[in-house]
Amino acid sequence: MNGANDGRPGQPSAPSEDEAPLEAGESDGAGLEAPPRSKPIYVLEGNTLRTRLTRELGIHYPFVGAGMAFVSLPPLVVAVSEAGGLGVLGAAPEPPGVLEARLKAIQAGTRRPYGVDFIVDRLEPHGFTTRDHVDTCIAAKVPVVVFHWTLPPREWIQALQAAGTRVWVQSGTVELARQALDAGVEGLVAQGRQAGGRNLGSTPTLALLKELRKLTDTVPVLAAGGIADGFSAARALHHGADGVWVGTRLVASVEAHAHPLYKQRLVDGDAGDTAMTTLFGPEWPGKRMRVIRNRVVREWAGRESSVPPTAESEAIGTTRLFPGVLDVQYVMPKFSSFLPTPDTQGDLEEMSLPAGGASMARIDTVQPAGQIVVEMMERARRLLESPEGLDEADEEDRG
């Protein structure tokens, strides 16, 4: 083996002589405790999967870590980028000042490309994403910004692009993807119905991928939903994806800021163990999520209209918002949409556990994120060299 991290020369990722490396337990700059220093992830130099995505971003693998709220914090972003993929920060629902701290932590941990993911809901009076968030990304020279749920104002797209930031949109429908291309975005994420978390898609991943691929042959199109191992990644690339967008598999990683029992549920789960529901609010009510079928989901999914109003005294636990920066204690109401993190106390059977069942069927253990990236991509590369079986029409779409 030769070449550290992603095999590309001239892009050192280790701290300089003037920058002392963090020891176990020290702050990473965003107030989060740094994980114990592990050995670098190595890949075979030259064994790259070259796609439009890797060429445009200068990354080794066409692997993008989903920007998951609460979970995809700087340690996970850095780990994915350092392993040769593109780590993406989940910014919602953090305010601009917290975002700035997160970006500084990422930039202290890697010199490789990374991204930021925002939720945009123009019908939400307070919103999750504002122009201040966009300006924070512009000031930090963030390489990639991804918008999800609805299309952002065109002036946000133009301002980011003028600063050198690539703008992508995650879409579960052909219509939103078409609108995004008309607005000039430089990348699409095809969110299939198998994808965990906030999901507007009703089309299986590979079918949606092919529909979006018909819309454009000039910008990268990524596949999202059910991508959790080398086979599923190879299949997406074989069917026209320029890269894969990986969420559920990375929740079950060492660096993910998720509760350990939540991670274990992903390891133990299987296809068919999730449901699409609008049960969880009240922080952002009425929005569809794919979540694990725990007790509260089994009780209420399919009869959301009968859910009684949440009483102020009816709490399911406590958690800490904006960890390492503001550290705000939060009492989680019944049907809270906030997922459990290491700071959460309470009954996980009453909580939102975003996940894709098609991905859970492919997860056997919690691993370091860098190992997940390298093993998935190297396996995909080998499969694509002899792609028998990748043309089969059926895909696991049970979620």
CA distance 236 to 287: 27
Residue 12 has what pLDDT?
40
Work out the number of other CB atoms within 10 angstroms of the CB of residue 239: 17
Give the percent of the chain with pLDDT over 70: 84
What integer pLDDT is reported at residue 389 of this predicted model?
Answer: 82
Residue of 128 and 70 predicted with greater confidence: 70
Q: Would the pLDDT of 51 be above 60?
A: yes
- Asked whether residue 43 carries a pLDDT value surpassing 90, the answer given is no
- Residue 253's DSSP bridge partners are 367
pLDDT digit string, tens, across residues 129-139: 999 999 999 99
Average of per-residue pLDDT across 257-282: 96
> Which domains does the chain carry?
52-257+363-385 (3.20.20.70), 260-358 (no CATH)
Q: Quick one: pLDDT at residue 125?
A: 58
Q: Looking at residues 365-384, what average pLDDT do you find?
A: 96
For the segment 86-93, the average pLDDT, to the nearest whole number, is 94
296-311 pLDDT, tens digit per residue, is 999 999 998 888 877 7
- At residue 26, the pLDDT reads 42
pTM, two decimals, is 0.89
The predicted model gives 150-173 an average pLDDT of 97
pLDDT surpasses 60 at 47: no
Residue 320 CA: distances (Å) to CA of 69, 323, 344, 363, 364: 13, 6, 7, 28, 29
The whole-chain average pLDDT of the chain stands at: 88
Q: How far apart are the first and last CA of the chain?
A: 37
Sheet holding 345-346, edge to edge: 328-333, 315-321, 345-346
| Residue 61 scores a pLDDT above 80 | yes
Residue with tokens 């924070």: 136
Residue tagged 């049970």 (tokens): 398
For residue range 339-361, list pLDDT tens digits in order. Answer: 999 999 999 999 999 999 999 99
CB 116 within 8 A of CB 144: yes
Query: Residue 395's pLDDT is what?
Result: 64
Cis? peptide before 220, omega within 30° of 0: no
Which carries the bigger pLDDT value, residue 222 or residue 31?
Answer: 222
Per-residue model confidence (pLDDT) at position 13 = 45
Q: What is the pLDDT of residues 188-234, one digit of tens each?
A: 999 999 999 999 989 999 999 999 999 999 999 999 999 999 999 99
Tally Cβ neighbours within 10 Å of residue 24: 9
Reply yes or no on whether the pLDDT at 25 is more than 70.
Answer: no
**What pLDDT is attached to residue 386?**
87
pLDDT at 37 over 60: no
Q: What is the predicted pLDDT for the residue at 5?
A: 33
What confidence score (pLDDT) does residue 156 get? 97
CB 65 within 8 A of CB 77: yes
User: Is the pLDDT confidence value at 182 over 50?
Assistant: yes
Q: What is the mean pLDDT of residues 92-115?
A: 96
Q: Number of C-alpha atoms within 13 angstroms, CB side, residue 339?
A: 29
What was the pLDDT predicted at 32?
A: 62
